[in-house]
Structure 1
Amino acid sequence: MIVKALTHVLSPGGSGGRLSILIFHRVHARSDRIRNWDLDALEFERTIRWLKGWFNVLPLDQAIARLYEKTLPARAATITFDDGYADNCTVAMPILRDHGLTATFFIATGYLDGGRMWNDTVVEAVRYCGKPRLDLSAEGLGVHELDSEVARRQAIMRILNEVKYREPLARRKAVDYVASATGASLPTDLMLTSEQVRAMRRAGMLIGAHTVTHPILARLDTAEVNREISESKQFLETLLQEHVGFFAYPNGKPNVDYRAADANLLRGLGFDAAVTTAWGVADVQSDRMQLPRFTPWDKTRFRFAARLVQNLWQSSQLRAEQSAD
């Protein structure tokens, strides 16, 4: 009850409405000891129960419309997923439906139907590498001990951090090198199929665009950004035979992963709203094309709630300071 009371105060409705937009990626059917930064089914179901008890959880389209109409209920929240993993359909969606909730799934369309995102190539290559030590120094990626699950996770994070902001061709070359150096057999069923995307939409889920190949938009020129975004949108609209009005920026940090010019481009492409990974809470003053998102990473009820409340509090303080200026 304390959490619900605090969120009611910090997230009012009406003209002062505030919208918490939560972000997830994968939900594993069972605990994954290598990729342990994502939730498993039990953890996700527990998180959904917490959210449903503390918030009025709305579909993204309704939530954004009501935010700007100033008719948002108090304690408003909405759920989003990025990238387009198959377990979004097979694991996350049944849990959402059991609780009478929907979510918005942002799809990197180039990886549907058997594709694999570059970061997953790294994760799975290191996971299934049969060597106790992995030397990637020829590509400037260091030498990594793989003698434990902890060591493998550390190697994965170091490689991902080193490769993430390389130019697209250089990143692809580095990732291919990692896969070749490990000699691992890599999965081809991590991402959604086109039919699963259609099935999710038929089940009442919302589908949004997330580019074709999930690049760092800030590293691309305007023509490349336009192509990545517009082709993703067009693919989904053809697949679903309806308007696709929502977009999520890959990685999503303002002025790091995308630029103000990229947000402006979205307006011209006919999007209704776009979401980032900047922490915070959306209010009526928020730019529709740069809405903040935040999900606590804590796995206990108290810590999860405390960080959610902290996000609401800090966002309200920041908005107050901006208004004073």
Structure 2
Amino acid sequence: MLAGLSLLGWPRGERALSILIYHRVLPSPDALRPGEIDAARFEAQVAFLSRHFTLMTVSDAAAALRERRLPRRAACITFDDGYADNWTVAHPILARHGARATVFVATGYLNGGRMFSDTVIEFVRRVPGPVLDLAAVGMGVHPLTTVEERLKAVSALQVQLKYLAPQEREAQLRRMLAALPVGAMPDDLMLTDAQLRQLADAGHEIGGHTVDHTVLTTLTPDGAREQVRAGRDHLAALLGRPVRSFAYPNGRPVRDYDAGHAAMLRELGFEAAVSTAAGVALPGADCFQLPRYTPWGRSTAMFAARMMRNARMGGPAAVV
């Protein structure tokens, strides 16, 4: 596979930075979380990356981009949101391969919190079939006779909630849970303060991701600044070190953040920020709109092929 990468170029002979998005690393596959990687597949991917790429933290990679000293094949492993398995499952794998990651943390969910998307998944997991009827709270009726139908229900409910303001979203979640009580929900999905400190002490970079994962374009400029600043200050105080990088919640240019938010991050003293636009970062890229992507594949060969395809796209256009 490395020979193939060399023959095709990476990309067009230029130095390029690939930034990979992860959220969780599960001990074993979960049918209701098909987008999350399990430990065995993650180990294979990290082994491949550590053999063929220079693995860097986001801030270090951004500095190398600015200073025109990026290795020819550079990559960053990043995690969004702040899940406990970033420490309990992912870290031991990364450590075995001498790799460091960047973990972007939404501080409002530390120490027993639960993101709305996880509440939806665990709710749908627990609701008995064959139908989930939430018409009384304005969230529709969803068949649940198969795993595929449960996945569709999860997606539909998450879409309804994603762009609500935090308080409105939490209120709607409470109405959903009250309409069909399903018992206790998990309270150990997210990192604790102690686990986060352990990640930082192990050499992983900790970056900002707002307080409660609110999409910045849904907020006023002052509201967006406060979400970013408060999350950063919480992390800096907890870890006793500066927070240098940031991940835009959802991360799609224009819809989820704009050039004004990138400028705000510069003003607040950040050094880099990542989006979810596809492509790689080439020399001269805007370090406050670095592309990221998820090149999943069932095999290492497919993983590598998708990385190559993404690299050949080059860098995305910046939001101006």
TM-score range, shorter chain: over 0.9
With over 3 angstroms needed to count, the CA separation of the structure-2 counterparts of 1:41 and 1:182, relative to structure 1, is farther
User: Distance between the aligned counterparts of 2:258 and 2:232, measured in 1?
Assistant: 19
Q: What TM-score do the two structures reach when normalised by structure 1?
A: 0.92
Match of residue 48 from structure 2: 50
Are residues 1:237 and 2:236 paired?
yes
Name the SS for the 2:225 alignment partner: helix
What is the CA-CA distance between 1:123 and the residue it aligns to?
0.9
- Are 1:126 and 1:182, in contact at CA under 8 Å, matched by a contact in 2? no
Q: CA deviation at 1:226?
A: 1.0
How far apart in 2 are the matches of 1:61 and 1:7?
A: 28
Question: Which whole-Å CA distance do the structure 1 matches of 2:196 and 2:43 have between them?
Answer: 21
| Whole-angstrom distance in 1 between the partners of 2:6 and 2:23 | 29
1:126-150 Cα offsets, whole Å, 9 max, x none, are: 1112343111112332111222222
Paired residues of 1:11 and 1:74 also in contact (CA < 8 A): no
Higher helix share: 1
- Equivalent position of 1:75 in the other structure: 73
Report the Cα distance in structure 2 between the residues aligned to 1:252 and 1:246, rounded to whole angstroms.
14
Kindly indicate whether the alpha-carbon contact (under 8 Å) linking 1:217 and 1:225 is maintained by their aligned counterparts in 2: yes
1:221 and 2:220 correspond: yes
Partner of 2:251, secondary structure, is coil
Structure 1 position 6, deviation (Å): 4.5
Q: CA deviation at 1:294?
A: 1.4
| Counterparts of 1:182 and 1:248, CA distance in 2 | 34
CA distance in 2, matches of 1:313, 1:59: 22
> Which SS does the other structure have where 2:277 is aligned?
coil
List alignment gaps of at least 5 residues for structure 1. Answer: none
Structure 2 residue aligned with 1:313: 312
In structure 2, the residue matched to 1:153 is: 151
Amino acid at match of 2:120: V
> 1:4 maps to what in 2?
5
| Aligned position for 1:201 | 200
Does 1:286 find its partner at 2:285? yes
- How far the C-alpha of 1:11 sits from its partner, in A, is 6.8
Percent identity of the aligned residues? 44
| 1:1-325 → structure 2 map (5 Å cutoff) | 1-6=2-7, 8-10=9-11, 12=13, 16-184=14-182, 185-315=184-314
Larger deviation, residues 164-173 vs 104-113: 164-173
Distance across 2 between alignment mates of 1:112 and 1:142: 31
Q: Classify 1:272/1:91 alpha carbon distance in 2 versus 1 (closer, same or farther; 3 Å).
A: same
Stretch moving more, 95-104 or 304-313: 304-313
Rounded to whole Å, the distance in 2 between the matches of 1:213 and 1:177 is: 19
**Does the residue aligned with 1:211 lie in a helix, a strand or coil?**
coil
Helix, strand or coil at the partner of 2:314: helix
Residue 219 (structure 1) shift: 0.6
1:180 counterpart SS class:
helix
125-134 vs 82-91, which deviates more? 125-134
- State whether residues 58 and 272 of structure 2, in contact with CA within 8 Å, keep that contact through their aligned partners in structure 1: no
Structure 1 segments of 4+ aligned residues over 6 angstroms from their partners: none
Aligned residue pairs: how many?
A: 316
TM-score when normalising by structure 2: 0.93
d(CA) in 2 for partners of 1:71, 1:203 = 25
Work out whether residues 111 and 193 of structure 2, in 8 Å CA contact, stay in contact via their aligned partners in 1.
yes
SS at match of 1:261: helix
Kept in 2, the 8 Å contact 1:132–1:146? The answer is: yes
Partner Cα distance (2:241, 2:6) in 1: 39
- Measured in 2, the distance between the counterparts of 1:44 and 1:256 equals 30
Structure 1's 66 and 168: CA in aligned 2 closer, same or farther, altered over 3 A? same
Q: 1:228 to 1:9 in 2, by over 3 A?
A: closer
Task: Structure 2: give runs of 5+ residues left out of the alignment.
Answer: none
